[in-house]
Structure 1
């Protein structure tokens, strides 16, 4: 059956707006809280802040490492106060499994049925149920007539038994108990992963020399090439990746995290990370950046640039006005001769 919507899904990006215009429009409000406010994707390893907002573990750790503020309400927070929101993670995983089939059903056009055909279907179902009931009645009568009568030995035992003696042994009592022990059943949700990483502490880089910082990078197994600012950024990103991996119920290997770190570094180089940093290597968006001191130091330079731009704009506008409004000098010969022009360039 044909569905409503674009057939080419090459550039189809899942979004809560996919539910709009379908029979399940309310699912858009259900899906929106499941997406991270930072990356706009379904939350991976949801972590709750002390102010009650939930984000991806990696996203919120990067934000807190950058400015120490909650991305939603701008409340100061710390990584140590983050708590795993496991219920939200289970809801997201379940919703992701049913999202595709539910969206296909929601996009199906409504089927208009004929009232005559509906009446025929009801009549057919009623007749089928009546036939089935008749067959059940005949089969139950046949089974009841074939049941064996109670044997005399069993009747004698029932009459003489006072409830204290055990019933006669039967071969059915020797059958093994097929009920499995619940303790033998493996609970996969309680299985602990084979790789259990421990969180890494954050460092105060102002107390570390270049040699000590390079040594810590080598101990962690990551590159120690570069000057001071790239080393600090690399270590900060590695701690963020590692601690976010510790929050996950299915942690990844160190080799996978190293590939993520390498991808992050290539992205930073391609985007020109150096333009976001001051001459001293401190990021402008950092929580330790002194904006007032920076403004007082470079304020006169900015004001002089603004005045110079305004002066050049005024000179340009006045020059254009002079060139367009310059008068042409013309004198009249009162003796009756023709006009004589003072300027040779304007002779017609």
Structure 2
């Protein structure tokens, strides 16, 4: 089969090579799928750079999630050939290839209400946001949710899930194109950080109270400024550090203002509570069937576009979700 491989670490455009490699084989409890769609995710960029917490041996194929058609089934896998599934891959054999292997407990039926690209994008981003908003904190109807990088992969899912939960959602983005995309997601208020300071706008929008929940996949200044507009008994969700700077929280400030700092590492649930992931997928499928959430795909590209697509994602030049489809 054909697969994109990282043979040395660096920027995606420089290090990805499209190689002929042996077809993978499904072992016990696994399924082999023909890749139908695979999104670009920031962890894929970090994997290419060698900056992700998981560091697979070289060479490896990135691509952390997919929608695929089952073409072979290992013993005890519980799926049938022809099933359309979504799930997360096992590095070093990622989804940026024609075929991929999934552990059966990391694969789920693809929602019938979504096409291949939409279904592929329902996994990591929406799971992350659902766990953040409903398990790590309990977002309540009528509360105000402030989402940073609201036009990005995880941020866009937080906007939709926040609206589905009955919250008022403020999206912070960078640039007019991303602002327009965020409005299409359903945000009640969109702030362009390139031209506006979100702190006073959030305070004005909330009548001086501030945001009840802050969803922060950026870190750096986004986190620091969020502490200036967090509400009494507010919750700041630490999702990641796409901005490149890990904040050093002033715990005395959290004490004085009476807010919580809550971390989320979604991947740990695969180790500690796989059932919670299955339950989350069932709820996301229900919300998708009801039309309350639907991944908004901004670009549908071919497998041949992966190096440039990942490169643009790493540069911060993409809007919304990029999804790659075979063939080239």
Shorter-normalised TM range: under 0.3
Q: TM-score with structure 2 length normalisation?
A: 0.20
In our comparison, the structure showing a higher alpha carbon Rg is 1
> Between Structure 1 and Structure 2, which shows a larger proportion of strand residues?
2
Asked which structure has the greater RCO (Cα within 8 Å, sep 6+), the reply is 2
Q: TM-score with structure 1 length normalisation?
A: 0.19
